[in-house]
């Protein structure tokens, strides 16, 4: 899922300083799962904003709505009635959400209420880790199912850098596993250590981010 974290309330208040009425838009997708932008967080943030602005002597009306998903234009339409009288939209979806909202309402300012951080998963309650950098050409089949692109500090593709100690990465002061150590252990368990003898001569990065924004088209779904 896409993982994000809330922006500091002071930063949000600064963004909204000229507004009298805003739509606070949440999303029932990833940001609900990582407890940063769902219906509950919309309610909490709306109350915080109202209280902070009341205390500052400049009341703010906050219209609350949580979209089914903000990364799908058909669900953005549900905001139409609320947005028409509002000074701005504050989106607490991942950063796709504010961009879709901006596209639908060209004359209404849109602000992000969260910082989108990475593609990852929960490792325990309240802790998420990055697991993928969406390179577009997955090599997990060669690396025991563990991603050296997202999880090695140096994005090494052919084994460890030599700086790991006790299975920990030299980056992160011992707090982060060396993914190449994990890959080695995993391939050993699978009886596939021979894979490490076959160097990955190159990786096709044409599918990755550096060529600009990517588009995926699945013709069978378009019909």
- Rule CB under 6 A: which residues touch ligand SF4? 132-135, 138-140, 147, 149-150, 152-154, 156, 160-161, 163-164, 169-171, 178-180
Residue 102 vs 161, nearer CB to ligand SF4? 161
Both structure tokens of 51:
């209280």
Both structure tokens of 190:
């699978």
**Structural Rg of the chain based on CA atoms:** 22
Residue 11 vs 170, nearer CB to ligand SF4? 170
Residue 78 vs 135, nearer CB to ligand SF4? 135
Both structure tokens of 114:
């969260």
Distance CA 32, CA 11 (A): 21
Contact 150, 156 (CB under 8 A): no
Distance CA 99, CA 38 (A): 18
Residue 89 vs 152, nearer CB to ligand SF4? 152
Residue whose tokens read 């069978």: 220
């Amino acid at each position: 899922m896409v993982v994000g974290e809330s922006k500091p309330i002071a930063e949000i208040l600064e963004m909204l300083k000229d507004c009298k009425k805003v739509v606070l838009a949440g999303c029932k997708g990833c940001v609900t799962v990582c407890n940063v932008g769902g219906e509950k967080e919309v309610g909490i943030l709306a109350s915080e904003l109202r209280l902070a602005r009341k205390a500052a002597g400049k009341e703010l009306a906050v219209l609350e709505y949580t979209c089914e998903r903000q990364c799908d234009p058909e669900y953005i339409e549900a905001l139409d009635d609320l947005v028409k009288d509002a000074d701005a939209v504050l989106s607490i979806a991942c950063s796709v959400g504010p961009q879709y909202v901006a596209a639908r309402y060209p004359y209404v300012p849109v602000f992000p209420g969260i910082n989108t951080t990475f593609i990852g998963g929960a490792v325990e309650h309240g802790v998420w880790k990055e697991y993928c950098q969406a390179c577009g050409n997955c090599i997990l089949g060669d690396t025991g199912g563990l991603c050296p692109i997202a999880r090695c500090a140096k994005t090494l593709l052919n084994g460890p850098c030599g700086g790991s100690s006790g299975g920990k990465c030299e980056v992160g002061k011992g707090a982060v596993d060396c993914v190449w150590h994990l890959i080695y252990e995993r391939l050993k368990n699978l009886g596939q250590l021979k894979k490490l003898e076959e160097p990955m001569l190159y990786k096709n990065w044409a599918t990755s981010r550096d060529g600009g924004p990517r588009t995926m088209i699945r013709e069978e779904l378009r019909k």
